[in-house]
């Protein structure tokens, strides 16, 4: 665990160093091109793009440097070792050291630029080219290739099993809904016809009809909740059309059932 913490902290330090070197080279290039400091700081959009790219690179480095499980160690016997990880996270500093060694016979004033370029070159070469190539070459060996194929096959099997479970659950739900609808249709066939008759009553009789409609709604709620009430309302509308033809159907049910269970009154609908 101490080794893992040390690697993570060193990785963070090396990445921050890489970002600083990149920023220094960028500013140095602008200065050499004749830009003044005001113009440099005004290029906020380009700075934002650079920061985004550097943060993306940093996240890639963090995930690449995270501890690997036993399965990945089997597939990557070289790049998952402690020695390789130590080399991987220290690449920016190794590039800086290389830049210092390359300063033989040059002016000391050019040292910061050479060190920064050495850091960027070594980091880019290792993180973007060497590491992906090494990881790919490892998979060419028989055992890593076989282990990877088995891991992918197990992952595919788990995904297929999860998909089958979801489909089975959905099928069970649909089957249960069909059974409920069939049972409710048989149970409330007479009630639906009675609701149609009550809704066709004269305006003077609506107060008396309301009480019976509410009682039927409570019965439907107790039998199957909101779904049963919705089905009974649809059955009542269908029965009304069958019994009274083109006569206008006024949906008093939605208002009279308001407050029963989870039933809520929508806007008054004429159908």
As given in the structure block, the two tokens for residue 162 are 């999860």
Comparing 21-35, 51-65, 224-238, the range with the smallest average pLDDT is: 51-65
Are the C-beta atoms of 127 and 85 separated by less than 8 Å? no
User: For residue 271, what pLDDT is reported?
Assistant: 41
The alpha carbon of residue 140 and the mean position of all alpha carbons in its chain are separated, in whole angstroms, by 33
Whole-number Cα distances in Å, 197 to 4, 57, 184, 188, 192: 78, 73, 19, 14, 9
Please state the pTM of the whole predicted model: 0.52
Q: What is the mean pLDDT of residues 40-52?
A: 61
CA distance between the termini of the chain: 71
User: For residue 246, what pLDDT is reported?
Assistant: 75
Q: What is the CA radius of gyration of the chain?
A: 37
* Residue labelled with tokens 């959905």: 170
Q: Is the pLDDT of residue 211 over 70?
A: yes
User: For residue 67, what pLDDT is reported?
Assistant: 47
Report the C-alpha dihedral over residues 110, 111, 116, 120, rounded to 10 degrees: 90
Count of CB atoms situated within 10 Å of the CB of 196: 20
The backbone torsions φ and ψ at residue 250, rounded to the nearest 5 degrees and listed phi first, read: -100, 125
User: For residue 166, what pLDDT is reported?
Assistant: 93
Closest CA to 228 of 267, 257, 252: 257
Are the C-beta atoms of 213 and 252 separated by less than 8 Å? yes
The Cα 132–Cα 143 span in angstroms is 19
In degrees, rounded to 5, the angle at the alpha carbon of residue 61 between the alpha carbons of residues 147 and 87 is: 80
User: For residue 45, what pLDDT is reported?
Assistant: 56
Who contacts 157 (Cβ-Cβ below 8 Å, separation ≥6)?
A: none
Q: Is the pLDDT of residue 158 over 80?
A: yes
- Residues 85-141 pLDDT 10s: 888 889 999 998 888 887 766 666 678 888 888 898 898 898 888 888 888 888 888
User: For residue 41, what pLDDT is reported?
Assistant: 64
User: For residue 127, what pLDDT is reported?
Assistant: 85
In degrees, rounded to 5, the angle at the alpha carbon of residue 200 between the alpha carbons of residues 196 and 202 is: 150
């Amino acid at each position: 665990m101490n080794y893992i913490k040390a690697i993570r902290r060193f990785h963070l330090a090396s990445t921050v160093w890489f970002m600083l070197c990149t920023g220094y080279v960028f500013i140095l290039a602008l200065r050499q091109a004749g830009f003044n400091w005001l113009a440099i700081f005004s290029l906020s959009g380009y700075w934002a793009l650079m920061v985004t790219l550097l943060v993306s690179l940093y996240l890639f480095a963090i995930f690449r440097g995270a501890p690997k499980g036993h399965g990945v160690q089997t597939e990557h016997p070289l790049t998952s070792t402690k020695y390789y990880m130590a080399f991987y996270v220290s690449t920016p500093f190794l590039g800086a050291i290389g830049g210092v060694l390359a300063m033989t016979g040059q002016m000391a004033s050019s040292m910061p630029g050479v060190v920064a370029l050495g850091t960027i070159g070594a980091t880019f070469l290792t993180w973007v080219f060497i590491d992906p190539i090494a990881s790919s070459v490892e998979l060419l060996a028989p055992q890593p290739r076989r282990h990877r194929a088995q891991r992918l096959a197990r992952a595919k099997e788990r995904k297929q099993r999860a998909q089958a479970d979801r489909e089975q659950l959905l099928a069970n739900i649909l089957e249960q809904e069909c059974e409920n609808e069939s049972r409710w249709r048989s149970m409330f066939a007479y009630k639906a016809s009675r609701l149609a008759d009550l809704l066709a009553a004269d305006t003077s009789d609506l107060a008396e009809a309301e009480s019976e409609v509410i009682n039927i709604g409570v019965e439907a709620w107790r039998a199957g909740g909101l779904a049963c009430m919705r089905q009974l309302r649809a059955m009542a509308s269908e029965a009304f059309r069958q019994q009274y033809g083109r006569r206008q159907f006024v949906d008093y049910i939605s208002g009279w059932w308001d407050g029963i269970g989870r039933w809520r009154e929508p806007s008054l609908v004429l159908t």
